[in-house]
Amino acid sequence: MAGLIAPQRTRKSRKPTGLPNPPLVLITGQEKVGKSYEAAKGSGSDLIGKTYWIEVGGNEGTADYYGRVPGADYEIVEHDGSYQDILDAIRWVNAQPRIDGKPNMLVMDSVTSVWDMLSDEVAMFARNRAVIKANRNRSRVPAADEPVVVDPDLWNRAKDRWGKVMWLLRRHQGPVLLLARTEVVTAFENDKPTRNTTRKVKAERNLPAAVDAILDLHGLGEAWLTGVRSLHMDLQPGETRRFKDFSVDALLRRMGLQDAVESRAMYETRPDATLQEPDQPAEPAEPTAPGLSEQKATHLIAEALKHPNDPEQALREVREEHGRRTLKAVRTQSKWGVMSADALITRTLDYLAKKVAEAEAREGGDAGTGELSSTESSAGQPEGGQETPDTPRVEAPATAETPQADPEPPVDEGAPPPPDPQAEATEPEPRPEDVSEAEQPQDLPRPRPAQANKLNRVMAVLLTESEIQSRILGVTMQEFLEPVSGPEEGTPPPMTKLRSHVLEHRPMVIGLLEDRGERDIANAYRLAGKPELKIADMFSTLYNDLTTVG
């Protein structure tokens, strides 16, 4: 395929430096052969400024104990065991300054535990996906001892997370020791198993290709160099050689650490998700928030305004879920003008609060009159008194043509001036589908007594189901509702959060019921409504002291 011939930017070339990179060394071996011991002993090398030790997994727990190894000199970097905190621990080590001009060394003990953690995450995600799919299709949920198929996309996700770990390790400005276990597996020939066995590194399969040297320990001082990327050592490709009098200090010297550059020279790839050809330049797009478009933000605000019970809380939950920084990057069109989604939520919250205050004032001052003020009678209506579909159901702005007994102050002093009614009459009317509900804050009616009774009934049903789930899970009601309770002790949780909390724990409760042999109740509970008004009757055979909500 024809393409561009001329270079698209000015470039320059340079001579190679001939200096080695700080080595990335993989030390492998079976259990109890001295991998951690050798790493601790090598931390006292005079080529190293300071050694930082990141222990992952805790299966061996030798980081503290091996501090008494003769010559050991390292510091342990603490973390909480999560993937993100392990990444941040590596970033912290990479940011530490050199000591007397000498590079710092990083020890990761072990990368086998890191890969095991990523594999466990994939398995847990696959099981949760299977449970959600079974609940959606109203089929049987797989039991805890049943295998679940892990889809290829999940393994790709694990490889991406592993790649971020290696990406940070390659940016450490000093030597890195990666400790990994090996396991004996069946040898394959032409994709068929044989009677022979071989040793395999228990980690991501591309790890051996990403390091500069692979050292296989068979015991203390008994080491075999199975691969190295170095011109300081005379080792042929594919050759395995015994490393006599092995030590980490000797290995670093043989690999030329004393002559190494300060930082690793790398040319990372940069995949292009748009697959844009160089001779077809793309149009520069306006900066927007990733994953949140103007249409989606408008839809979220509209759905929050439709909330039957608490639209203000629903709007705050939208802001809490996506964050103010993301919402500020999304531009929206509204009757108040062009503004960010975050500003639109703020204006809408102010508007709803003002309407509630006006309603309370009317109840106190105009109770029993049955008459509307001129502002309310003319709000959102053109001449003739008939409301059009495209007219926003908000209070009309105060103008000279609109007589009002008590002119109200503007919501925001920085808001654009109200439009001229004559100018609005000359503009073409937009079609009803051109105006989204999020662009026009709505004056939501107060719940009628029948609606309030229904909401109280639903709340009672959700609390009953919460009590049932807490009993089956073996915790108190207070402990079960603690994640969704209010800031003050004894405050009931909001209905939306309580409903989500109950639905989230249903699969776990159904699994425990099946383990106890209560399969009939488990199957009925799996098909229950959201919420289930007959929840007390459903569990009456287990608990006869529940309150029946009729």
Other CB atoms within a 10 A radius of the CB of residue 74 amount to: 22
User: What confidence tens digit (pLDDT) does each residue in 468-486 have?
Assistant: 888 888 778 877 887 887 6
Lowest mean pLDDT among 98-112, 169-183, 315-329, 433-447: 433-447
Q: In percent, how much of the chain has pLDDT > 90?
A: 21
Residue 339 has pLDDT above 60, yes or no: yes
Question: 346 pairs with which residues across the strands?
Answer: none
Averaged pLDDT score across all residues of the chain:
77
DSSP state of 483: G
User: What local confidence, expressed as pLDDT, does residue 102 receive?
Assistant: 93
pLDDT digits (tens, 9 = 90+) for 134-165: 888 888 888 878 888 888 888 889 999 999 99
pLDDT, position 237: 74
Amino acid at 160: D
Going by C-alpha positions, the residue among 112, 226, 225, 98 that lies closest to residue 165 is 112
pLDDT digits (tens, 9 = 90+) for 366-400: 444 444 343 333 333 333 334 333 333 333 333 33
Q: What angle do CA 83, 88, 94 make, to 5 degrees?
A: 135
Single-letter amino acid code for the residue at 72: A
> Tokens representing 2?
């024809």
CB 62 within 8 A of CB 13: no
Question: Which residues have a Cβ under 8 Å from the Cβ of 423 and sit 6 or more positions away?
Answer: none
Burial (CB count within 10 angstroms: exposed 0-12, middle 13-18, buried 19+), residue 331: middle
pTM > 0.85: no
Taking 50 as the threshold, does the pLDDT of residue 320 lie above it?
yes
- pLDDT mean over 201-216: 90
Tens-digit pLDDT profile for residues 101-116: 899 999 998 899 999 9
pLDDT bracket for residue 88 (50, 70, 90)? very high
Higher-confidence residue: 283 or 336? 336
Helix%, strand%, coil% for the chain, nearest 5: 40, 15, 45
Res. 309: pLDDT tops 80 = no
Digit-coded pLDDT (tens) for 35-74? 999 999 999 999 999 999 999 986 667 889 999 999 999 9
